[in-house]
Amino acid sequence: MSINHPSFGKLDDDRIIIFDTTLRDGEQSPGFSMNLHEKIRMAEALTELGIDVMEAGFPIASPGDFESVLEIAKSVGQRDDTPVICGLARSGREDILRAADAVRPAKRKRIHSFLSTSPLHMKYKLRMEPDEVLQAVTDSVTLARQHTDDVEWSAEDGTRTEDDFLCRCVEAAIKAGATTINIPDTVGYALPEDMERIFTMVKTRVPGADRIVLSTHNHNDLGLAVANTLAAIKAGVRQVEATINGIGERAGNASLEEAIMAIKTRHDAVPFKNNINTKQILRLSKMLSTITGFDVQPNKAIVGRNAFAHEAGIHQDGVLKHAGTYEIMLPEDVGWAKNSLVLGKHSGRAAFRDRLDQLGYKVGQNQLNDAFRRFKDLADRKKVVFDEDLIALVDDEVMRDHERIRFVSLDLYAGSKRPAKAELELEVDGTVRTATATGNGPVDATFNAIQAIFPHNANLVLFSVGAVTEGTDAQAKTTVRLEENGKMVDGQGADADTIVASARAYIHALNKLLVKRERTEPPQALSA
Ligand code: KIV
Ligand code: ZN
């Protein structure tokens, strides 16, 4: 029987719905939090990637989370190509109503309610009897359906739930009106054969399971999240939940780019279709790394720096003769540029804008002007400007929109003969302020100058420097982590000058802290 879904209509049997949870399960993991502006940027880029459902956040978790889901619903959620905007909720009335309020303005909306069903979680986490859990499933889904026709219900810790009880809960959720049923491997415990068995069982035993979409959501604690996702698809699942770069709780979630490319590359074995524009994958991966300050490891499948690099002579020789000898996918298919040498100091504004368009960046006139000025400056100092340089530069520029504190200029006196001195100019709430400070090296002097202009009590807990490309003239990419009253933020900066990049990263972190100060802490035990 084919499925008639409230948001997608009649679903082709070979259609896979891609549910992205980067902004919820990904964002809630330590160090990956994003501010509203960053979430909206990601939401726009995810829409251009072609995802079907965007889990935009967990509205009850904090006023900030509520606001970001609401703002995404009001902005991205109004586009003609909007994905379904989804808000997560536990099973309580207040949670569901908060999620309903947050997604309400979206043209297409979903409430995703979840409740633990495993013996361990019911006894120790929920302190609820199985019958109470069953009742809560019915009540929560019934309430959610009063606010939208598109309701997903998840059996948290579903893969460690007793078969009979799992089937009873799924049946109750379907009867109450759930249109998607998700059975998450919350703790990343399952093996591929478990996934096949569980989904086959639910499909065959639960009345009505053929009328709804079954969904898979896998954590990567044993490194099996993508393998489990593929096994679930084989067993009849039609919705895949995943995150960009595989970010998420503990070892992360199934990586969206890996799952998508496995389906595309092995279409012979996994013959399903989806709406993802794979050429946007690298852009999303890099944007997320820039926003969060976490690069993927070099050997990360699909988006790692080495994913398509061939070092061994025998491999290089083979690839030169025929790429297929050692490459199973085309690097261009996921957004790697064939020739990433792009612009030089004689390139004009039109060429610059054109290249940004090709890289998938749509920037406003002001940002374009600022980015072009920085590009010219960079091209003067650097022999060649690569796509990676442009991406770092534009991300850095876009990231700074709406910030209260902005970098203006920095002059440094450093070396082995005297203490380093920094003369810094910053714009704070529209007014330019200057300070001169000394320090134990140029970075210390610069950070002391920031402190002099904008006094604060945050502690510097991490400072790291990397290079955007190779060579001694490469741009530096820096991350600064600040901590204030237990709140942690990461800031990023990029510049041909390492100390300027460091100042930019520090200022970025400080701006994030200012935003975070306005938010209240989420209630305990919300994480899923
Ligand atoms: O891992 C999990 O169980 C979850 C649910 C909320 C779907 O993230
Ligand atoms: Zn999860």
In this predicted model, what pLDDT tens digit does every residue of 447-462 receive, in sequence order?
999 999 999 999 999 8
DSSP three-state, residue 152: strand
Q: What is the pLDDT of residue 245?
A: 98
CA 50 to centroid of ligand 1, rounded, Å:
22
Looking at the CA of residue 158, tell me the nearest atom of ligand 1: 3
Q: Which residue lies with its CA nearest to atom 1 of ligand 1?
A: 186
To test the ligand 1 pocket, which listed residue (25, 88, 183, 216) has its Cβ within 8 A of the most ligand atoms? 25
List Cβ neighbours of 49 (8 Å cut-off, separation of 6 or more): 20, 276, 277, 280, 281, 284
Token look-up 């790429």 returns 323
Give me 81's structure tokens: 């190509």
Q: Which ligand is nearest to the CA of 252?
A: 2
Axis crossing angle, helix 192-205 with helix 163-176, rounded to the nearest 10? 50
Give me 174's structure tokens: 């379907």
Axis crossing angle, helix 387-399 with helix 281-292, rounded to the nearest 10? 50
> How far, in Å, CA of 217 to CA of 215, rounded?
7
Cα→Cα distances 155→173, 303, 441, Å: 10, 31, 54
DSSP state of 322: -
CA-based end-to-end distance of the chain = 33
Q: Is the CB of 116 under 6 A from ligand 1?
A: no
> How far, in Å, CA of 79 to CA of 346, rounded?
38
Give me 102's structure tokens: 């947050």
Q: What is the pLDDT along the chain (528 residues), one digit of tens a residue?
A: 689 999 999 999 999 999 999 999 999 887 788 889 889 999 999 999 999 999 999 999 999 999 999 999 999 999 999 999 999 999 999 999 999 999 999 999 999 999 999 999 999 999 999 999 999 999 999 999 999 999 999 999 999 999 999 999 999 999 999 999 999 999 999 999 999 999 999 999 999 999 999 999 999 999 999 999 999 999 999 999 999 999 999 999 999 999 999 999 999 999 999 999 999 999 999 899 888 878 899 899 999 988 887 666 677 677 777 888 888 999 999 998 765 556 778 888 888 888 888 777 777 888 888 888 888 888 887 767 777 788 778 877 776 667 889 999 999 999 988 899 999 999 999 999 999 999 999 999 999 999 999 999 999 998 989 887 777 777 888 989 899 887 778 888 888 899 999 999 999 899 888 877 765 444 433 334
Looking at the CA of residue 184, tell me the nearest atom of ligand 1: 3
Looking at the CA of residue 156, tell me the nearest atom of ligand 1: 3
Give me 219's structure tokens: 């954590």
Q: Is the CB of 20 under 6 A from ligand 1?
A: no
Q: How many CB atoms lie within 10 A of CB 297?
A: 12
CA 232 to centroid of ligand 2, rounded, Å:
16
CA 318 to centroid of ligand 2, rounded, Å:
41
Q: What is the pLDDT of residue 29?
A: 84
CA 359 to centroid of ligand 1, rounded, Å:
33
Strand partners for 43: none
CA 188 to centroid of ligand 2, rounded, Å:
9
Q: How many CB atoms lie within 10 A of CB 377?
A: 15
DSSP three-state, residue 296: coil
Q: Which residue lies with its CA nearest to atom 6 of ligand 1?
A: 528
Strand partners for 10: 4
Task: Specify the pairing of strand 405-413 against strand 420-428.
Answer: antiparallel
Q: What is the pLDDT of residue 519?
A: 53
Q: What is the pLDDT of residue 345?
A: 80
Task: Specify the pairing of strand 4-5 against strand 17-20.
Answer: unpaired
Looking at the CA of residue 24, tell me the nearest atom of ligand 1: 8
SS3 readout for 65-84: HHHHHHHHHHCHHHCCCCCE
To test the ligand 1 pocket, which listed residue (154, 161, 187) has its Cβ within 8 A of the most ligand atoms? 154
Q: How many CB atoms lie within 10 A of CB 495?
A: 26
List Cβ neighbours of 521 (8 Å cut-off, separation of 6 or more): 62
List Cβ neighbours of 486 (8 Å cut-off, separation of 6 or more): none
Q: Which ligand is nearest to the CA of 153?
A: 1
Q: Which ligand is nearest to the CA of 249?
A: 2
Q: What is the pLDDT of residue 267?
A: 97
> How far, in Å, CA of 398 to CA of 418, rounded?
37
Q: Is the CB of 217 under 6 A from ligand 1?
A: yes
CA 148 to centroid of ligand 1, rounded, Å:
21
What backbone phi and psi angles, to 5 degrees, belong to 211?
A: -100, -10
Q: Is the CB of 38 under 6 A from ligand 1?
A: no
CA 113 to centroid of ligand 1, rounded, Å:
10
> How far, in Å, CA of 112 to CA of 55, rounded?
9
DSSP three-state, residue 324: helix
Q: Is the CB of 110 under 6 A from ligand 1?
A: no
State the DSSP H helix or E strand holding residue 310, giving kind and residue range, or none if neither. Answer: none
By CB neighbour count within 10 A (0-12 exposed, 13-18 middle, 19+ buried), where does 478 fall? buried
Looking at the CA of residue 157, tell me the nearest atom of ligand 1: 3
Q: Is the CB of 243 under 6 A from ligand 1?
A: no
Q: Model pTM? A: 0.81
Of 73, 128, 62, 77, the C-alpha closest to 101 is 73
Q: What is the pLDDT of residue 311?
A: 63
Q: Which residue lies with its CA nearest to atom 4 of ligand 1?
A: 528
By CB neighbour count within 10 A (0-12 exposed, 13-18 middle, 19+ buried), where does 455 fall? exposed
CA 249 to centroid of ligand 2, rounded, Å:
7
> How far, in Å, CA of 121 to CA of 78, rounded?
38
Token look-up 């399952």 returns 190
Q: Is the CB of 196 under 6 A from ligand 1?
A: no
88 and 57 Cβ atoms separated by less than 8 Å: yes
SS3 readout for 335-403: CCCCCCEEECCCCCHHHHHHHHHHCCCCCCHHHHHHHHHHHHHHHHHCCCEEHHHHHHHHHHHHHCCCC
Q: Is the CB of 156 under 6 A from ligand 1?
A: yes
CA 253 to centroid of ligand 1, rounded, Å:
10
Q: Which ligand is nearest to the CA of 248?
A: 2
Residue 424 Ramachandran class (φ > 0 left, ψ -120 to 50 alpha, else beta)? beta
Q: Is the CB of 375 under 6 A from ligand 1?
A: no
List Cβ neighbours of 388 (8 Å cut-off, separation of 6 or more): 340, 468, 469
Strand partners for 4: 10
To test the ligand 1 pocket, which listed residue (28, 156, 527) has its Cβ within 8 A of the most ligand atoms? 156
Token look-up 């359906």 returns 145
> How far, in Å, CA of 10 to CA of 8, rounded?
7
Q: Is the CB of 153 under 6 A from ligand 1?
A: no
Q: Is the CB of 450 under 6 A from ligand 1?
A: no
